[in-house]
C-alpha cells in the first residue's frame, strides 16, 4: 500500500493509502472513534469504526493517547463534515509507540513559561507548525531574491576576533591555548571584504549579542541577512532594501497564505505594503515627534516608543535616514552636504514592530576611517585587514543587515519574537 502525506490526500479520493504520523487529538465512543492525525505535512481526521476494523484492532486503537505515533491504513473519503474535505476510514490502525505518560501540552491553555520549558514538544502544536512554515518561506524568499539578482552567497565566520561595531556585547569563547575568540555579532566587515572580490554579496546566518535585553523584540542568538555591494551608494542601498522587503512580503503572501490565515494574521495589512516605502530624515522625524508631544532633542537616538509612533503613521515600512553620526557606528559615510549626519537608514516595520533593517554607506577613505576609529577609541591594530580594504582599490560601497526573526514576527503578526525561531535563546533561557 502506498505511503502518502496528508497534504496530498485530495489526489487519492476513494483509494486505499497508508499514513504515518501522530495522534493530535482523540474523541471516542463505544463503537466509533475519531483521531485527528498529523504527519508534518498537514492534519486529517481518521474515523475508526469497530464494525470495520474488528474488535481487537478497535481495542488496540482505543489505547492510543495524545502524541502516540501510529500508522493508519484506510480509504480516503470525501466528507462534507471533515474540515478539509477529506477524511480516512481506517481499515487498520498500527500503533508505533504509545507514551506511558500524558503529553504535557493538552489544551491551548498554558503559560508562556510552561510552553517555553516544553518547546521541543510545543513545536508540534498547530500554531507553531504554521509559524515555522512561514519562517521557512521567509528564508526561501531571501535567498531567491538575491540569487535572482546575481548576488553571491558568502558565508561569514561565526568565530571572530574582537572586531565589530562595539566590543561590549560580545560572547567570549576559550580558543584552546591561544586566548579568546568571540561569537560574531555581524558579518558586515567580512562582507565588505567579499564585495570587493565578488561585487554583490549576501549572507544568511546566526549572530550573537551579549545584551541583557528582555523585550519582545530581542534574542541573544538571532539570524541576520546582510548584503553588501561595491559601488553602491546610499540611494542604491535604500532601493535594494525596499525591493528585498517587498519581495519577501509578496513571496510569503503567495507561498504561505494558508499558514498566515491559519494563525489569524490580518493579511489585508500585508496587502497594503506598497513601493516606494515612505521616507523621513532623522531631522524630520524629530520635528514630527516634537509636534506630537515628545520632548526628544536633536542628537538623541530614537527610542522604542518614538519608533512605534513614527511607523504607525504608515501602512508600509518606514525609512528613517541621515541620523546624527554620534548615535551611529564608526564606519558610516558622512553626508557631503552635512557632515554632522551620516548616509544611513533604519527601516521600521509597520504596525509598531520596530527596526528590521540597519543600513549605511560605508566609509571608503582610508584617512577618514582612521580618524573615526581613533575617535571611538577602537584598537586600530585589530582593524588591520579592514583598513587594507581602503588601501587597495577602495570604492564607495553600501550594505545593510535585516533581522530575520523581527521580519518574521512582523509578517506573521507575532506578539513575541521568540515564536519566530524554533529554539529561542533569550536572556536566562537556553533549555531546551
Residue ranges in 408-427 that form contacts with RNA under rule CB under 7 A: 416-418, 426-427
Q: Which residues partner with 47 through β-bridges?
A: 34, 89
* Cell 504515518 sits on residue: 20
Cβ of residue 220: shortest distance to RNA, in angstroms? 7
Q: Which CB atom, from 197 or from 430, has the smaller least distance to RNA?
A: 430
Rounded to 5°, the CA angle 405-406-411 comes to: 95
Long-range contacts of 307-310 (CB under 8 A, 24+ apart): 307/348, 307/354, 307/355, 308/352, 308/354, 310/280, 310/285, 310/348
Rounded to 5°, the CA angle 303-308-311 comes to: 120
Please identify which residue in 21, 355, 363, 399 interacts with RNA, judged by CB under 7 A: 355
Q: 242: burial class by Cβ within 10 Å (0-12, 13-18, 19+)?
A: buried
Is-contact 208 186, C-beta < 8 A? no
* Short-list 315, 313, 321, CA closest to 288: 313
Q: Does 66 bind RNA (CB under 7 A)?
A: yes
Considering only residues 159 through 188, tell me which ones interact with RNA, judged by CB under 7 A. Answer: 165, 169, 186
Q: Which CB atom, from 65 or from 143, has the smaller least distance to RNA?
A: 65
Q: Does 65 bind RNA (CB under 7 A)?
A: yes
The 357-386 site mask, x for binding RNA (CB under 7 A), equals xx----------------------------
Q: Does 429 bind RNA (CB under 7 A)?
A: yes
* Short-list 20, 120, 104, CA closest to 65: 104
* Short-list 322, 318, 311, 321, CA closest to 276: 318
Query: Which window, 75-83, 134-142, 170-178, 276-284, contacts RNA (CB under 7 A)?
Result: 75-83
Please identify which residue in 303, 379, 422, 432 interacts with RNA, judged by CB under 7 A: 303
Q: Which CB atom, from 89 or from 94, has the smaller least distance to RNA?
A: 89
Q: Does 110 bind RNA (CB under 7 A)?
A: yes
Cβ of residue 383: shortest distance to RNA, in angstroms? 17
Considering only residues 116 through 155, tell me which ones interact with RNA, judged by CB under 7 A. Answer: 116
**Measured distance CA(37)–CA(43) in Å, rounded:** 6
The 14-53 site mask, x for binding RNA (CB under 7 A), equals -----------x-xxxxxx-x----------x-x-xxx--
Q: Which CB atom, from 122 or from 151, has the smaller least distance to RNA?
A: 122
Q: Does 405 bind RNA (CB under 7 A)?
A: yes
**Measured distance CA(317)–CA(247) in Å, rounded:** 13
Please identify which residue in 97, 213, 274, 376 interacts with RNA, judged by CB under 7 A: 213
Amino acid at each position: 500500500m502506498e505511503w502518502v502525506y496528508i497534504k496530498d490526500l485530495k489526489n487519492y479520493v476513494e483509494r486505499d493509502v497508508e499514513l504515518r504520523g501522530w495522534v493530535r487529538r482523540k474523541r471516542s465512543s463505544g463503537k466509533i472513534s475519531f483521531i485527528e492525525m498529523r504527519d508534518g505535512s498537514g492534519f486529517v481526521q481518521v474515523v475508526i469504526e469497530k464494525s470495520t476494523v474488528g474488535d481487537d484492532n478497535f481495542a488496540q486503537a482505543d489505547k492510543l493517547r495524545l502524541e502516540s505515533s501510529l500508522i493508519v491504513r484506510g480509504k480516503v473519503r470525501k466528507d462534507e463534515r471533515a474540515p478539509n474535505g477529506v477524511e480516512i476510514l481506517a481499515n487498520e490502525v498500527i500503533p508505533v509507540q504509545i507514551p506511558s505518560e500524558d503529553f504535557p501540552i493538552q489544551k491551548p491553555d498554558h503559560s508562556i513559561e510552561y510552553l517555553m520549558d516544553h518547546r521541543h514538544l510545543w513545536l508540534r502544536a498547530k500554531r507553531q507548525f504554521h509559524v515555522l512554515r512561514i519562517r521557512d518561506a521567509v528564508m526561501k524568499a531571501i535567498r531567491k531574491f538575491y540569487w535572482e539578482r546575481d548576488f553571491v552567497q558568502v558565508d561569514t565566520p561565526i568565530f571572530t576576533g574582537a572586531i565589530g561595531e562595539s566590543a561590549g556585547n560580545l560572547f567570549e569563547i576559550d580558543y584552546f591555548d591561544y586566548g579568546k575568540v568571540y561569537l560574531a555579532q555581524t558579518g558586515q566587515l567580512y562582507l565588505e571584504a567579499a564585495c570587493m572580490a565578488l561585487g554583490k554579496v549576501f549572507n544568511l546566518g546566526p549572530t550573537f549579542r551579549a545584551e541583557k535585553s528582555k523585550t519582545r523584540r530581542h534574542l541573544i542568538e538571532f539570524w541576520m541577512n546582510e548584503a553588501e555591494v561595491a559601488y553602491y551608494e546610499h540611494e542604491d542601498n535604500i532601493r535594494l532594501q525596499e525591493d528585498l522587503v517587498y519581495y519577501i512580503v509578496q513571496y510569503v503572501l503567495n507561498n504561505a497564505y494558508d499558514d498566515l490565515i491559519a494563525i489569524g494574521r490580518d493579511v489585508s495589512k500585508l496587502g497594503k505594503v506598497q513601493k516606494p516605502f515612505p521616507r523621513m530624515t532623522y531631522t524630520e522625524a524629530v520635528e514630527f515627534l516634537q509636534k506630537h508631544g515628545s520632548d526628544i532633542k536633536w542628537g538623541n537616538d530614537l527610542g522604542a516608543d518614538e519608533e512605534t509612533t513614527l511607523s504607525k503613521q504608515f501602512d508600509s515600512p518606514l525609512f528613517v535616514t541621515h541620523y546624527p553620526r554620534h548615535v551611529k557606528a564608526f564606519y558610516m559615510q558622512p553626508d557631503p552636504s552635512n557632515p554632522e549626519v551620516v548616509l544611513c537608514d533604519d527601516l521600521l516595520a509597520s504596525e509598531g514592530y520596530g527596526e528590521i533593517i540597519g543600513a549605511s554607506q560605508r566609509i571608503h577613505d582610508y584617512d577618514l576611517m582612521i580618524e573615526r576609529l581613533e575617535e571611538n577609541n577602537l584598537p586600530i591594530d585589530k582593524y588591520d585587514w579592514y583598513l587594507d580594504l581602503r588601501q587597495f582599490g577602495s570604492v564607495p560601497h553600501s550594505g545593510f543587515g535585516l533581522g530575520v526573526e523581527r521580519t518574521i514576527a512582523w509578517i506573521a503578526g507575532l506578539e513575541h519574537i521568540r515564536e519566530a525561531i524554533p529554539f529561542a535563546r533569550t536572556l536566562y533561557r537556553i533549555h531546551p
